Amino acid sequence: MRKVAMMTADLAFIGHIGPEALAAAALAVTLYLVSFTVGAGLVAPIAPLAAQSYGAGNLAMVQRALRTGLWTALLRSSIGVRLGL
């Protein structure tokens, strides 16, 4: 929620520069929020899966869940860096 408030304040200040700058900043904010939401959604299920497996005593599944989460985060972040998001 703080990020949205900060970005809103940034857009309010950028609006004084001109309409082109405001449009570019608004587009960048939208792309950032979508990218962040998709990335967070991809790795969100990892913690509950690992915790459930740990509680069941299935340490192999814990290792698999954590490894999958790390690879997913690495792949997602490398794509984001290449695209500049």
Q: Any idea what the Cα angle at residue 10 is, between residues 3 and 14, rounded to 5°?
A: 155
| Contact present, 25 and 59 (Cβ < 8 Å) | no
Query: Is the pTM of the predicted complex or chain greater than 0.75?
Result: no
Average pLDDT rounded to a whole number, residues 57-84:
89
Q: What's the confidence (pLDDT) of residue 85?
A: 60
Per-residue pLDDT reduced to its tens digit, 1-48: 787 788 788 888 888 898 898 888 888 888 888 888 888 898 999 999
Tell me the residue type at 81.
V
Q: How confident is the model at residue 71 (pLDDT cuts 50, 70, 90)?
A: very high
